[in-house]
Amino acid sequence: MSELTRISVSLEAALLAAFDGYMKAKSYTTRSEAIRDLIRDRLVRQQSEEPTGEQVAIVILVYDHHAHDLASRLIDKQHHHHHVVVSSLHVHLGERHCLEVTVLRGPAAEVHQLGDELLAVKGVLHGEVVVTSGEGVFNRWS
């Protein structure tokens, strides 16, 4: 870990009590580590909103595999953007429904575009795109 700097933070008693409850629920052993994680989380979220730089995303989709050509349309979109698709995992949830998790990595604009395109495919029942930063951002903080 890089050089540490001590800071002082003033909080209302109720806010500190709520934070301590959060910390305990998440199994943090020190306030410092919990605060560091919250700061990193906010910075990663801010970076994920930027249209430039490398980003990594996980696209989570749930769909009915009986929907006409849906699986084929999803695969076609992934192949069209093969340079940002790292991996894909297909899970059978039951008789009809499937979960697909796809990892994307590349230029921010392309990652966001493909994530949005996959969610918008007709027949997708539920989905979410979770974006994080590329390794370069994390190297700045360690």
β-strand partners of 64 = 97
pLDDT tens per residue across span 49-100: 776 778 899 999 999 988 889 989 999 999 999 999 999 999 999 999 999 9
Distance between CA atoms of 124 and 63, rounded to whole angstroms?
A: 5
Percentage of the chain lying above the pLDDT 90 cut: 72
Q: Please tell me the predicted confidence (pLDDT) of residue 140.
A: 67
- For residues 99 and 93, is the Cβ–Cβ distance under 8 A? yes
pTM score of the predicted model: 0.77
**Domain residue limits, the chain:** 13-48, 54-140
- For residues 63 and 99, is the Cβ–Cβ distance under 8 A? no
Q: What class has domain 54-140?
A: alpha beta
User: Is 14 a residue whose pLDDT tops 80?
Assistant: yes
